[in-house]
Each structure stands twice: as C-alpha cells, then as structure tokens.
Amino acid sequence: MKIKWLGHASFLITAQDGTRIITDPYGKFDGLNYAPINESADVVTASHKHGDHFGGKVKGKPRVIDQPGTTTVKGISFTGIACYHDPSGGKERGNNIIFCFSVDGIRLCHLGDLGHLLSKEQIAQIGPVDILLIPVGGFYTINAAEAGRIAEQIKPRVIIPMHVSNKKCAFPIAGVEEFLKGKSNVKRTGASEAEFRKENLPAKTEIIVLEPAL
C-alpha cells in the first residue's frame, strides 16, 4: 500500500490491487495554495463539507463517503465515527467524521478536522490502528499537545501529521515542528509518498513526516 500526501488533510492511498482512495480533497480556499488535485479515485472520504476538505472535484467518478456509519466499496469497509470540529460540541465549526478502514491488511484512521480530545467510547469505536493520519496544527483542530495525547490513546504503529502551516498553507496554525518537539521517533522522508507493508510496520510508534506533493 502507498500513501501520498497531496496536501492539507488530503491523501491518496493506493492499494496493491490498484484501488485508489482520496481523503478530504481540498478545493480553492483562502490561504490554501496547494495545486489542484488532478488524481483520480475510486473512493473519496470527506470528514466535513468545508471547502478546504471537500471542495475539489475528483476524477474517476468516485464513490463519496461523507456520513457516519459503515460503507463498503470495492471490498473495503469504511467506518465513519461522528465527532466535532471544535471543543464545543460543534457549536463553533460544526461536525466532523473520523474514518477508519483497512487496505492490504493495514488499518488506517483519518481524523479529519478533529477539534477535541476523544472519549473512551470513541477510542473503542476506532479500535486498533496501524497508521494514524492526524491534524496537529491547532486553532481549527486539535493542537500539537492534544494530538500527542490522542496518539498515546490510539497507540498506532505509524503517525503521519497533517493540517499544518507551510509554504502552501497560510492558515493561522502551527507547523509540523511544534508537534515534533522533544520526539526522537521521527523519520523525515523528504518525499510525498511512502510505501507500507503490514509485516514491515515498526514495532514502536514512528512519526513519518511527508512533504506535500502539490
């Protein structure tokens, strides 16, 4: 399985059989200067309907999953877990959906624009996770410290940070370095894509820093 960070909270996940999944495809949005997404997909997951997460039309006539519950597409079961975009029960920024699914035997969890710490019930719903795609920039989402706490609760094998400020994102949020402070289990790939096999996942949690492809 390959994971390519397109930018912001959008990833292209490609299974060995060629199935393509894109998470939270962004569109034109003030402060967001990533290039348009031209990748095709079989499935699109959308954590919420803000334009920086569900604003780009994806090629390939994908099945769009944008509701909580379980949906199966091309033999992959996607579980959407209801949560919020803020710590006030959605009063500030609305709802958010966490998506969990398995590709090539690897369990992924994309937290979308999660804006609060998770309850024990939500952690139980998420279950075991191999790769966690987690926002760490703060302001609109959980911040670096909160992301660290959630990662400790979920205990994934791999953490991939997202939703951070950089040359392509001028949002008033922190860069990835804030999340990486004091951590030794960091692997900077210098690339936008990484390949994973179940048998080669690290025994101890590793943070993999990808560069945006777009």
* Terminal Cα distance for the chain, rounded: 20
Token reading at 19 = 């199935």
Task: Say which DSSP state 28 is in.
Answer: S
When mean pLDDT is compared across 18-32, 147-161, 183-197, the lowest value belongs to: 18-32
Class of domain 2-209: alpha beta
Question: Is residue 87 over pLDDT 80?
Answer: no
SS3 193: strand
Structure tokens at 176: 């990835």
For residue 99, the one-letter residue type is: F
- Percent pLDDT > 70 in the chain is 96
| pLDDT the model gives residue 31 | 82
Q: What mean pLDDT is reported for the chain?
A: 93
pLDDT of residue 1 exceeding 90:
yes
Burial 21-48 (b: 16+ CB within 10 A, else e): bbbbbbeebeebebeebebebbbbbbbb
The span from the CA of 4 to the CA of 152, in Å, is 24
CB contact set of 117 (below 8 Å; sequence gap of 6+): 87, 142, 146, 149, 150
Confidence of residue 93 (pLDDT cuts 50, 70, 90): confident
Residue ranges of the domains in the chain?
Answer: 2-209
Answer for the pair 180, 209: CB distance below 8 angstroms, yes or no.
yes
pLDDT in tens, 180-189: 999 989 999 9
pLDDT at 132 over 70: yes
**Residue 57's pLDDT band (cuts 50, 70, 90):** confident
Q: Please compute the mean of the pLDDT values over residues 82-98 and round it to a whole number.
A: 81
Q: For residue 91, what pLDDT band results from cuts at 50, 70 and 90?
A: low
Q: State yes or no: pLDDT of 72 exceeds 70.
A: yes
What count of Cα atoms within 13 Å lies in the side-chain half-sphere of residue 43?
Answer: 22
* pLDDT higher than threshold 70 for residue 51: no
